[in-house]
């Protein structure tokens, strides 16, 4: 349900069903169910990379496309990452192929080879994203070595499921 900018009511104006439905009912529905997408990730194998340049984690399961109405969009990404040794892992958000972070992305974390690695939370709110269809993807890279995103591969003590969600928050 699309959002309609609420009209300004004037004195003695008649309240019609059409106006009420458009400006009250439909807008309440729009607030309750804004454009959004959620991916709960549970893979047969974990994700790994040795890439020192930005690489998509997964072009299907870590990719969400929504059609926005012109409001800001809040993006959440949560995962656990471990390294082959002590390394740094970087994450960025790309919207329609455009990076939102700087050269080092939005989030960087020093990680090690521990069983469950480190939790990586990435929260980002867009500013001025035009209405329309937009593709949101998380990319990652490493300083060196190998990074592994635990993605539900059933490893004992590390069966962790990342989540990626995108919602227009106004």
Partner 1 sequence: MVELEVTRDPIDLNEFDSDMRAALGGKYYGASSRKGVVVLHLSDDATPSEVNQARSIFNAAKAAVDPTKPPLSVGLAERADRGRSSIRQLDFNDIQTRINNISNLAEAKTFLIQLTQAVYFLAAAQGFTDQDLDS
40 C-beta neighbours (distance < 10 Å), count: 11
Q: Does 85 bind partner 1 (CB under 8 A)?
A: yes
Q: Does 156 bind partner 1 (CB under 8 A)?
A: no
| Contact with partner 1 (CB under 8 A) among 59, 98, 127, 156 | 59
Q: Does 93 bind partner 1 (CB under 8 A)?
A: no
Query: Contact at 8 Å (CB) between 96 and 46?
Result: no
Q: Does 53 bind partner 1 (CB under 8 A)?
A: yes
For residues 122 and 106, what is the distance between their CA atoms, to the nearest angstrom? 7
| Contact with partner 1 (CB under 8 A) among 148, 162, 164, 166 | 148
Count of alpha carbons within 13 Å of 80, Cβ hemisphere only? 18
Angle at 151 between CA 148 and CA 152, to 5 degrees: 130
Question: Binding residues for partner 1, how many (CB under 8 A)?
Answer: 31
Taking alpha carbons only, the member of 108, 124, 118, 129 closest to residue 165 is 124
| String of contacts with partner 1 for each residue 103-142, x by CB under 8 A | ---------xxxx-------------------------xx
Please, which residue, 122 or 147, has the CB nearer to partner 1? Answer: 147
Query: Contact at 8 Å (CB) between 111 and 120?
Result: no
Residues in contact with partner 1 by CB under 8 A are: 43-59, 61, 82, 84-86, 112-115, 141-142, 145-146, 148
């Amino acid at each position: 349900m699309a959002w309609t900018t609420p009209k300004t009511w004037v004195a003695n104006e008649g309240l019609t069903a059409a106006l009420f439905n458009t400006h009250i009912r439909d807008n309440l529905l729009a607030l309750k169910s804004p454009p959004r997408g959620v991916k709960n990730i549970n893979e047969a194998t974990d994700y790994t990379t040795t890439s020192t340049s930005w690489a998509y984690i997964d072009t299907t399961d870590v990719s969400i496309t929504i059609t926005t109405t012109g409001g800001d969009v809040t993006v959440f990404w949560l995962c656990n990452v471990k390294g082959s040794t002590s390394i740094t892992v970087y994450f960025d958000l790309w919207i329609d192929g455009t990076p939102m972070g700087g050269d080092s992305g939005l989030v960087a974390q020093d990680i090690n080879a521990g069983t469950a690695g480190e939790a990586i939370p990435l929260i980002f709110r867009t500013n001025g994203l035009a209405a329309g269809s937009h593709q949101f993807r998380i990319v990652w890279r490493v300083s060196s070595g190998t990074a592994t995103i635990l993605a539900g591969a059933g490893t004992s003590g590390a069966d962790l499921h990342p989540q990626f969600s995108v919602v227009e928050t106004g």
